[in-house]
Amino acid sequence: MDFERKTYSLDHLASADIPMRGVSETLYRAALERVGGTLCRAAAERLSEIEEERHILIVTGFPIPPKNVCETDGPPGAAVLAYTLRDVGLKPILVTDKPCEPVVRGIIEDEFPVELISVERDRAERQCEELLNRYDPAAIVSIERPGWNVKGEYHTMRGYNISDLIGKTDHLFLKARERGITTIAVGDGGNELGCGLIEETVRRHVPNGDRCQCPCQAGIAASTPADILVIAATSNWGAYTISAALAELKDVEYRHDGKRELRLLERVIKAGGVDGVTGEPTLTVDGLPTLVNQFVVELLWTIATA
């Protein structure tokens, strides 16, 4: 299968509205208009151009009330991308915050460095500046990471304010863009970091997009854009498509299949994570049954290795 056909198939499978949330296809089309070509191809090609030994920051982790622990969507995608980046000679660094730290560390089993960003805005801004100075990353990739709205507030998809839980990683993207550092984002609902690229579409078509349930009344639509935005039905799937396309471009093996997916989810739950929709510590992602999620991951692997 040629690369263009492969990335087209990966994109469309990952963005299919299997969770039946009613927004992924609309958001996907909006991202496609802004990015051009297939989304995973655009992201993978940008990453493939980076010279070996450069650092890549991967930002992930979305805490879910009332337990205020990390959800199962995000860290698995970050882990697979980190392993793929290492396979192609790059140096991934994971970035998260205190509520999500146990899951992010647990899923990578201490194979990569993990940096934490504070919930305090001024301190977080200084930390983000320090990270960019220390690592001089060639790119920053966010995967299912909360993004602040036009008033600097963070929300769940249901429109509830969770700003007190979130390390202010929007500063990383904003400062990176000032320095000309590539920013890539993966999201599925429009309230994630990087989805500012399609903010108006999120406001028009996503429930609570334009008006949230908290006093800010500014909606859940994230305002910080990415250079390249990958939209999928669950963000993990979007991260897997980038990993698969990058592996193809750099001629390394893409190994993430259904069995490996189950092992990653087991690590998330062992570390204290929960499903982002149900809030329960189950081997599910965004409310999808385990077997359904594994089946989609297996299909992605089948396309990637064809």
H or E segment to which residue 295 belongs: helix 290-304
How confident is the prediction for the chain on average, in pLDDT? 97
Average pLDDT for 201-212: 98
Residues 132 and 257: their CA atoms lie apart, in Å, by 33
Could you report the per-residue pLDDT of 96-110, keeping only the tens digit for each?
999 999 999 999 998
Residues 264 and 72: their CA atoms lie apart, in Å, by 9
Q: Which residues pair with 185 in a beta bridge?
A: 142, 229
Rg (CA), the chain: 17
Yes or no: say if 26 and 304 are a contact pair by the CB < 8 Å rule: no
Q: What is the DSSP string of 154-207?
A: -B-TTS-B-GGG---THHHHHHHHHHT-EEEEEESSS-BTBBGGGHHHHHHHST
Yes or no: say if 103 and 273 are a contact pair by the CB < 8 Å rule: yes
- Per-residue model confidence (pLDDT) at position 128: 98
When the candidates are 3.10.520.10, 3.40.50.10470, 3.90.1640.20, 3.40.718.10, the CATH number that belongs to 3-304 is 3.90.1640.20
pLDDT band at 37 (very low <50, low <70, confident <90, very high): confident
Whose tokens are 């192609």? That residue is: 88
Can you read off the two tokens belonging to residue 159? 């429109």
pLDDT over 80 at 6, yes or no: yes
Cis peptide before 66 (omega within 30 of 0): yes
Whose tokens are 């698995």? That residue is: 76
Yes or no: say if 60 and 235 are a contact pair by the CB < 8 Å rule: no
Average pLDDT for 199-213: 97
Read off the amino acid at residue 188: D
Could you report the per-residue pLDDT of 141-166, keeping only the tens digit for each?
999 999 999 999 999 999 999 999 99
- 270 Cβ contact list (under 8 Å, min separation 6): 106
- Per-residue model confidence (pLDDT) at position 135: 98
pLDDT over 80 at 175, yes or no: yes
Half-sphere exposure of 163 (CA within 13 A, CB side): 15
pLDDT over 90 at 285, yes or no: yes
- Per-residue model confidence (pLDDT) at position 1: 72
Average pLDDT for 194-202: 98
Ranges of each domain in the chain: 3-304
- Per-residue model confidence (pLDDT) at position 90: 98
Could you report the per-residue pLDDT of 215-239, keeping only the tens digit for each?
999 999 999 999 999 999 999 999 9
Q: Which residues pair with 205 in a beta bridge?
A: none
- The sheet carrying 114-116 orders its strands as 114-116, 91-96, 55-60, 139-143, 182-187, 228-231
